[in-house]
Amino acid sequence: MNHFAGNNNHNVILLKFDESYSYPVFFTRDVFKISNYTLLKAIAGKKNRNNAKKSLVFIDKGLVSKNPELLKEINLWFEHNKKFFYLACDPVVFPGGESVKNSWEHVHRATNIMNDSALDRHGVVVVVGGGALLDMAGFAAAIFHRGIQLIRIPTTTLAQNDAGIGIKNGINQYDKKNCIGTFYLPAAVINDYGFLKTLTFDHFIGGIAEAFKIALIRDNCFFSFLENNSSLLKQRDQKTIEETIKRCAQLHLDHIARSGDAFETGSSRPLDYGHWSAHKIEMLSGFSMGHGQAVSIGIVLDSFYAWTRSLLSRTELDRIIAAFIKCGLPVWSPYLEITDKEGRLEIEKGLEEFRQHLGGRLTFTMPDGIGQSCELHEMDFNAVREGVAFLKKAGF
């Protein structure tokens, strides 16, 4: 209920209201098979469901190129369900990967298409693809008519267990990752495991770095699961990957729902553990290195740092590095060693950018024993440099 609370000060009107948020995350296969009703369920219960909804599908070029029948399948699915959803135009293909969020170009293209299709606030945008496309198109959906219904269908490991299931979107600007963006809730998310089979090994395994991330700061048992199954993950064992994605998604969603700071107004950003250097490494590589691989290196670097602060034992550090290597995740990159004219490591600037992005006091999350976390407010770059040298040895 909305209400204005009075105040003794006659020059202030305090607006206070509560609204609760929810959205479902479905797990399925063959989402665009005629016999699959998940997409219909995803929209059930939303306002104005009696009228057929005008819809747009934005889809990842990398996905389409590996699944040439997919566009036809999507058209057939919508044709079959036109009583509920109908397509304003054929699915629109966008580039996949970081290039789609490196400028405003694709945001403009997406909003132009929404406008040309006369999409109103009851219309639906269905985005099918990797985390980069989901971030860009989610942002476009969030700002068009101040937000239209968004259904995300993530198609990479990383998007299914992290990027595609949460409430953030954005594009990269001013040489900074995700500098422009919003918090915006999807109407629903549909994880279709079937899409994972056409990923390259790097894009497949990159998402496992985010699973390690959340396990290391939240869930000791999940870390042991990942550690014990690292060879199976590398072999892309279906049952293991499905369990990994589900548990990882659950931990991320629990954090959003229960951390008390879903919209990240405070200075702490636990889910960005390892990301201060990862974002910098991604930029330094000109995005030739995937987000998951950069996060993998960022996590082991921070794990080394945690060991130097006695937050992890040497045995725990060795276990983490061994598990990453066994999975096929990188623990070293030459980008770690790049220095500026003054001899300062470029990644050091990543920490300053991280602080600027969060605002307020520098706060970064570290594991405090495997499965628990703590917050630190200062970083000793001598220890980071030792970490870089240590990882260079570990990575070769």
User: Which residues sit at the interface with ligand NAD, rule CB under 6 A?
Assistant: 60-63, 66, 96-98, 101, 129-133, 135, 155-156, 158-159, 162-163, 166, 168-169, 177, 195, 198-199, 203, 206, 290-292
| Residue 16 DSSP SS3 | strand
User: Which of 60/219 has CB closer to ligand NAD?
Assistant: 60
- Provide the minimum distance between the beta carbon of 8 and ligand NAD in the complex, in angstroms, as a whole number: 42
Q: In whole angstroms, what is the distance from residue 131 CA to residue 101 CA?
A: 10
> Taking the complex as a whole, how short is the minimal distance between the CB of residue 113 and ligand NAD, in angstroms?
19
Euclidean distance between CA atoms 325 and 316, whole angstroms: 14
Closer residue to ligand NAD, CB minimum distance, 312 or 358: 358
Shortest spacing between CB 102 and ligand NAD, in angstroms = 9
- Closest approach of Cβ 17 to ligand NAD, in Å? 26
Rank residues 293 and 317 by Cβ distance to ligand NAD and give the closer one: 293
Strand partners, 54: 86
Residue 192's closest CA among 35, 59, 36? 36
Q: For the chain, what is the largest distance between any 2 Cα atoms, rounded to a whole number of angstroms?
A: 69
Tell me phi and psi for residue 195, to 5 degrees: -65, -20
Please identify, using beta-carbon distances, which residue of 135 and 219 lies nearer to ligand NAD: 135
Amino acid at 369: G
Which amino acid, residue 159? Answer: A
Q: Which is nearer to ligand NAD, 287 or 332 (CB)?
A: 287
* Nearer Cβ to ligand NAD (282/316): 282
| Pairing label, strands 85-87, 14-17 | unpaired
Angle at 35 between CA 27 and CA 113, to 5 degrees: 75
The residue among 100 and 311 lying less far from ligand NAD, judged by its C-beta, is: 100
- Kindly state the smallest distance separating residue 205's Cβ from ligand NAD, in Å: 10
DSSP conformational letter for 132: H
Least spacing, CB of residue 210 vs ligand NAD, in Å: 7
The token pair at 14 is 């305090």
Contact status, residue 309 vs residue 376, Cβ threshold 8 Å: yes
> How far, in Å, CA of 279 to CA of 312, rounded?
23
To the nearest whole angstrom, how small is the minimum distance from the Cβ of residue 189 to ligand NAD?
Answer: 12
